[in-house]
Structure 1
C-alpha cells in the first residue's frame, strides 16, 4: 500500500504568479511523509527521537513537471524504496487531486544519525524490524528517478 494524503496549497507558499515555490514542493512532501508514517504505520517522529534515532537529508533528487497552484488541492504519496544499514531511500510524489497529473517526483536519501553521539550510525535492530515491513520492494528494481518517472508517466 502506498500512503497518500491531500493538502491545499497555501498562499504563503506561493510566488506572485500563484505557483508553489520550488522549495515548497519538498516541504509539502516531507511533511506528508511524516504524516504518512504516523497515520498509516503508527510511527511518530517524536517516538523515534525519544529512542535516540534521527535522520538527516543526504540528497534530494526532484523533477518538477507541472505547477501546483494557490488554493489547489493536491495528493501526495510516499514509499520507502530501500532500507539499508544506515540509510533510507524514500519516494514522494505530488499529484493533482484526481491523481491524473504528476506534478513532481522526489527521491530523498536520509542518513541515520545517533542522537546521543550526533554521528552517522547503523539503524538499530528494533528500527529495522519496524521499517522492513513498510519497504516497497516492488520499487527496488527501479534504478533511477528518471526510470521511475517514465513508469509513472506512462501508467
Structure 2
C-alpha cells in the first residue's frame, strides 16, 4: 500500500469460527467487519478520538461506497494485520484505504477502500467535515 501523506495504522485480529462460511474460509462480509473493527480501534489509539467521543459530539461516519479486492482466502485461526489510512479527506468526507495481510503467509488477502460521509446524528443527513476534524485526522 502506497503512503500518500497520511499515516497508515495497523491492527491485528484472529479469524474466529463464526467468521467461516460453508467453503471453510472467511465469508466475504467479514472483511468489512475487520476493517471497521480496525478503524474503531485506530480512532482511539492513533487519532485520540474514540468513537464514543465522536458520537457524543453529534456526528457519525457512514459508508457511502466500498471496494474490496479479494486476493487470497483466510481460514480459521489465521492472524491478520489490518492496515488502514486516510487516502483523501475534505469537507464532503473521506476515503480510507486498507489492506489485510495474512501474517502466516505474509501475503495480502484483500485490499481496497471505503468512502465515508459524515452525518449529523440528530437529522441523519450528511453534513460538512469541519477544518478541526480534518486536522484531527491529518496525522
Same-fold call, TM cutoff 0.5: yes
Moved more, 34-43 or 93-102: 93-102
Select 1:8's aligned residue among 14, 23, 47: 14
Higher RCO, Cα 8 Å, sep 6+: 2
Higher helix share: 1
Query: 5 Å matches for 1:6-155?
Result: 6-97=12-103, 100-131=106-137, 133-134=138-139
Cα separation, 2, equivalents of 1:98 and 1:37: 26
Higher strand share: 2
TM-score with structure 2 setting the length: 0.89
The CA distance in 2 between the partners of 1:127 and 1:17, in whole Å, is 42
The two structures have a TM-score, normalised by structure 1, of: 0.80
Give the number of equivalent residue pairs.
133
| Contact 1:56–1:111 (8 Å) recurs in 2 | yes
> Runs of 5+ in structure 2 lacking a partner?
1-6
Deviations 1:52-91 (A, max 9, x none): 1111110001100000111111111000111011211001
Aligned Cα root-mean-square deviation (Å):
1.5
Say if 2:79 and 2:104, in contact at 8 Å, map to a contact too: no
Compute the displacement of 1:6 (Å): 1.4
How far apart, CA to CA, are the structure 2 residues paired with 1:38 and 1:14?
A: 28
1:5 match: secondary structure: strand
Query: Where does structure 1 differ by over 4 angstroms across 4 or more consecutive aligned residues?
Result: none
2:4 maps to what in 1? none
